Chain A
Amino acid sequence: MATVKVEKLRKVFDGQERQIVALDDVSFEASGHTFVSIVGPSGCGKSTLLNILAGVETPTSGSVDISESGGKARVGYVFQAPRLLPWRSVMDNMLFVQSDQGPETTARAARYLDMVGLGDHQKSWPSQLSGGMQQRVGIARAFSIEPDVLLMDEPFSHLDAITARGLRRELHGMWSETRKTILFVTHDVGEAVELSDRIVILAKGGRLRQTVDVELPFPRDPSDDRVALMKADVLRTFEELDLIAT
């Protein structure tokens, strides 16, 4: 079982005139088959949090720990943009991130491409695919390393509403099937309510303001009354926390 532990995390960037506090005293924990959404206005340090968890950035103070039954956990990352190597085929993009290389790896990568409906596009160049298809490759890539923990940074925010809705449904299916721990950054409260067990609310200045547990049965239809009510609840929390700019 994978465990993500974030403790008193603080990250300060040196801006041109003054220091910018991206994260301030953030602590939380998630483990096992959990879907945690991190929600907040732009500039509240959501992406920075994921980058620190992925090891791309280092914290100013505090610590993060991602472990799998005591050992080191494998981490997959889906970015806001697909971030594919434009000069490599879809399959080669999948293989680029694998720790092992061999026929089984290729078969596994192909299986995940099938899962996102791109089995026929192994040899395509990324530029031959639509934005939604490229993002699907990014998702398949993250799942194909069979990570213990999956980080997702607003993966659907650049897509049209219909494509995003389809991909959300796919993501939920893959999460139920693979039973990963997923940390999902979004600024879309509806999306967070639809997908997660728990919502972590970050405020500007990178402070963790509140966590909300979402106890509704899956699959959640966004037009379902209970989902809509929950969304309204979370938005009200935003108002109460005075997070909405006026």
Chain B
Amino acid sequence: MQATAGAARPAGATPSRLRRALTTPRAARITAPILFLLAWQLLVPLSSSLIIPMPSGVVEEMIDMVKDGSVFGNFGISLTRLLIGFLLALGVGGIVGLAMGVSPRIEAMLHDFVVVGLAFPYLIWGLLVAMWFGFGSQGPIIVVFIAALPYVILNASEGVRDVSKELRDMAHAYGVPPRREMRHLILPSLSPFLFASLRYGLANGWKGLVLAEVFAATSGAGWAIADTSDYGNFEAMVGYTLYFALFSILVEQLVFERLAKRVFRWRPTEAARMRLPEPAETTH
């Protein structure tokens, strides 16, 4: 952190180039959180309240969590629950969504349920599953499923309706066999919607999961947050929250952005980027 701050001063031979490098969108993604941490560290001592922990204390806690392995244990459990719940939602939501996309009658039957599902607070599900299933993995998995399901359904049904009739007519005019049409026409045109389901479904699954773990679990990241807060260990609590933030950023950058770049490399902007040299790299 200090190294970055020191280098930012125009002491080097080419300050303008450095400034430009620091103001690129890519650098902004790093400088923004650093500025945020700095502001946090500087502003907390100004407040009289004692329950806002300092970043330095939080970082210390975060390191301890890695050392004793508790963060891996809790996140491991949570991730497993998330994956199981989400895969269930993907399977069920995919089928229901496809059916809604194909049949106006099924769409009419289920549309309102999906809309309510999108707006329904996870808190209620969290409390309900705690009552029904007690403490364990079942409740959180069900809440993940319920939280992700409407997003998957919505995107699948819109995806089916979005498949181009013109392209399908073209395939039929040429007598393209159904399997090839599925693989090269239908599935690729569904992929933006599958992507949206992954992104929003997973993000909402996470939110639901943490809430469910607060009420209906004795393990997992959400439970750890509730537990540390019960004991008044605010540094650890914020530490867990930060791990959450880090985790979602990592998933976004390492999984979604790369996957999107590959799956959508045919899109005009991506294609243009491949054809033209990247401006940032080639400017003198």
Residues in chain A within 8 A of chain B (CB atoms): 51, 54-56, 75-77, 79, 81, 83, 85-88, 92, 96-97, 99, 125-128, 145, 151
Contact = CB atoms under 8 A, between A and B. Distances in A.
Contacts of A75: 173
B175 interface: yes
B188 A55 contact: no
A228 to B, nearest CB: 35
Majority SS of interface residues in chain B?
Answer: helix
Contact of A96 (B169, B184, B189, B267): B184
A126 B275 CA distance: 13
A77 B271 contact: no
Contacts of A54: 172-173
Majority SS of interface residues in chain A?
Answer: loop
B183 to A, nearest CB: 10
Interface residues of B, number: 23
B176 A97 contact: yes
Contacts of A56: 169, 172-173
Interface of B: 166-167, 169-176, 180, 184-185, 188-189, 191, 265-268, 271-272, 275
Contacts of A126: 266
Given A55-B173, A75-B173, A125-B266, A81 B166 contact: yes
Contacts of B267: 86, 127
27 contacts: A51-B169, A54-B173, A55-B173, A56-B169, A56-B172, A56-B173, A79-B166, A81-B166, A83-B166, A86-B267, A87-B188, A87-B189, A87-B191, A88-B188, A88-B266, A92-B184, A96-B174, A96-B185, A97-B171, A97-B176, A125-B265, A125-B266, A126-B266, A127-B267, A127-B272, A128-B271, A128-B275
